[in-house]
Amino acid sequence: MASNNSIHTFSLKGLTGGMVDFGAFRGKKILVANTASECGLTPQYKQLQELQEEYKDSLVVVGIPCNDFGGQEPGTADTIAAFCERNYGVTFPLTEKLSTKAPNQAPIFQFLTSKELNGLQDEEIKWNFHKFLLDEEGHLIASFPSTADPIEAMLQYMPA
């Protein structure tokens, strides 16, 4: 796989400042999820946090808030961050709110959903909490639909 098929080339603004540099996660698997605070699937934040804690030496979870589906992430950066910390104890990186679909699809979601860019598959994000798994070199290796339980989906990819 060519190096241009790696998420490690991306940096995004952090939800509460700073940058989330995907290159800094080299050597760990990365699980990226488009998140929303007012979705029926919002309790997945708890499972994503559990994954982050359980596999902190080999996995980084990154949440990317999005308001594309049902307007379920209307909050500001501060309200999203406070909600995630207060309700789910989220410590994994959260980025600025981005769009997952055209016409304003963020470049990172273009990468994650286009085989031409990610080298693996075309994928359509149909709802909040769609999950993408990347290997230690930043290459896409799997994706999971919104309804997939994050912990169950990850079992086959993580050490016992």
- The DSSP line for 56-114 is TTTEEEEEEE---STT---S-HHHHHHHHHHHH---S-BB-----STTS--HHHHHHH-
**Pairwise CA distance, residues 65 & 73, whole Å:** 7
Active site amino acids: 87
**Pairwise CA distance, residues 138 & 136, whole Å:** 6
pLDDT of 52-97, one tens digit each?
999 999 999 999 999 999 999 999 999 999 999 999 999 999 999 9
Element of type H or E holding 50: helix 44-54
Residue 140 CA neighbour count, 13 Å, CB half: 24
Residue 3 pLDDT exceeds 90? no
pLDDT-based confidence at 159, cuts 50/70/90?
confident
**Pairwise CA distance, residues 157 & 160, whole Å:** 9
Range of the domain at 8: 3-157
- 106: domain CATH number is 3.40.30.10
pLDDT of 129-148, one tens digit each?
999 999 999 999 999 999 99
In total, how many domains does the chain have?
1
3-state SS string over 103-119?
A: CCCCHHHHHHHCHHHHC
Q: Which structure tokens are listed for 116?
A: 């031409």
